[in-house]
Amino acid sequence: MARQPKITFIGAGSTVFMKNIIGDVLQRPSLSGATIALMDLNPQRLEESEIVAGKLVKTLGAKATIETHSSQRKALEGADFVVVAFQIGGYEPCTVTDFEVPKKYGLRQTIADTLGVGGVMRGLRTVPHLWKICEDMMAICPDAILLQYVNPMAINTWAIAEKYPLIKQVGLCHSVQGTAFELARDLEIPLEEIRYRAAGINHMAFYLKFEHRKADGSYRDLYPDLVRGYREGRFPKPSHWNPRCPNKVRYEMLTRLGYFVTESSEHFAEYTPYFIKDGRPDLIEKFGIPLDEYPKRCIEQIERWKGQAAAYRSAETIEVEESHEYASSIMNSVWTGEPSVIYGNVRNNGCITSLPENCAAEVPCLVDASGVQPTFIGALPPQLTALIRTNINVQELTVQALMTENREHLYHAAMMDPHTAAELDLDQIWSLVDDLLAAHRDWIPEWARVSKKVRAA
């Protein structure tokens, strides 16, 4: 019998996400006999994930084998694919810290997991753990592909490529395909009739083309329809998943830049200096900006999980729906050679010629038996390049801090952040970083720790 793949899931206690990925995997004939190794440090969450995974296998009649591990190295033995999904420090205490400490300085955020002081701190907490996974992979399964689902995606991908360039990695997000679905819904056009091409960095990629395939096989640019719908007040349509998050910021930026960004308006509002401003409640109201959105989601998800966990324990079978994640598509293409195209975060390496060679770019990638192969984009429109560079500055300095263990660069990263710099002066920024480093002391590398104010005001 042909060898079956081994899929290792690090952070398997993210049970709902694990369920989506494993559900997708088990529905693919080439992967349905896989060995699935679940690893997590939280024994209760690991047990819950084992129960869910086992019931998925039963529901689908798959021949997969489920293993559980508390040892990362043991879980990685013989792995062909390594899926990573975790949040260092969790909602409490670390996410709460990332929101509450900046608020003392008047700095308000929406998501704080990608950029800004929240994103910098999350990267500082997360990258060392990803590096440890890479170290173990190099020793145990050097040919495995790392499918990385952890934020801050761009900082993580960049840092892995810098320290472990031989690791075969791709950072995966669902913003490109998710936003395409939202826009198709606004336009009332079936998604399968839309052709698009996007590129940039994670959470700030743009649709360079967004077109409708007509009956005669030709294509029509949909951007004029999107702009017209927004100006006439028809778009965005009310959110189908979260009424707190209307999509007005991205539509407004479409009218200014000429292109639509792939990550949500609540994210985009804090990647730029235009929308969250002290003394400007009119902007918050006009664009429907959901301040403190991520903590609210965390609380809702924690509460929802209590009911879900009990339901999964008592259920005989678990309903499986195909998700929109790329993981199973990548695994299937690598394992069978059947080609597919995904959007992945990889070292730029000249794919986008107007961005730095070593940054983490999000581009279309061909996947087949040779692995994940990024495609060439060329130069982005100059206004998109300029805006993206403002975010790359923060990412680059955070990665430099991690690579050189130079704490100064964490302050520099915060200084360069568009939203932080628009709200705070230099003394406030440095003092805020001091406070965050002190608050996160137990969760960050020793070189980055401060126990008291190290800067005079």
pLDDT of residue 239: 85
**85 found inside a domain:** yes
How many beta carbons lie within 10 A of that of residue 436, not counting itself? 23
Ordered alpha helix ranges (H), 112-174: 116-140, 153-163
pLDDT of residue 457: 42
**183 found inside a domain:** no
Cβ burial 139-150 (10 Å sphere, 16+ → b, else e): ebbeebbbbbbb
Q: Which tokens belong to 94?
A: 């670390």
203 is in an annotated binding site: yes
Q: Compute the distance between CA of residue 299 and CA of residue 22 in angstroms, rounded to an integer.
A: 25
- Look up 174 and say whether it is catalytic: yes
151 is in an annotated binding site: yes
**387 found inside a domain:** no
Q: Compute the distance between CA of residue 357 and CA of residue 277 in angstroms, rounded to an integer.
A: 33
Q: How many domains does the chain contain in total?
A: 1
**55 found inside a domain:** yes
SS3 of residue 280 by DSSP: coil
**337 found inside a domain:** no
Using alpha carbons, select from 176, 216, 227 the residue that is nearest to residue 193: 216
Cα-based torsion angle of the residue sequence 99, 104, 106, 109 in order, rounded to the nearest 10 degrees: 0
Cα distances from 139 to residues 35, 68, 157, 241, in angstroms, run 20, 20, 20, 43
| CATH number of domain containing 44 | 3.40.50.720
Cα distances from 264 to residues 205, 245, 250, in angstroms, run 11, 9, 7
Say if residue 243 is exposed, middle or buried (CB neighbours under 10 Å; 0-12, 13-18, 19+): exposed
User: What is the helix, strand, coil percentage profile of the chain, to 5?
Assistant: 50, 15, 35
Q: Which residues contact 356 (CB under 8 A, 6 or more apart)?
A: 348, 392, 396
Q: Compute the distance between CA of residue 262 and CA of residue 202 in angstroms, rounded to an integer.
A: 9
**164 found inside a domain:** yes
Q: Which of 69, 174, 240, 409 is catalytic?
A: 174
Return averaged pLDDT per consecutive 10 residues of the chain, 457 residues in all.
92 89 96 97 92 94 96 98 96 97 98 98 98 98 98 98 98 96 97 98 98 96 98 94 93 98 97 97 97 96 87 86 92 98 98 98 98 98 98 98 98 98 98 98 96 51
Question: Phi and psi of 114, rounded to 5°?
Answer: -125, -50
> Which domain does 150 fall in, by range?
6-90+111-171+313-331
Question: Phi and psi of 211, rounded to 5°?
Answer: -135, 155
**40 found inside a domain:** yes
Cα distances from 356 to residues 78, 104, 201, in angstroms, run 35, 35, 11
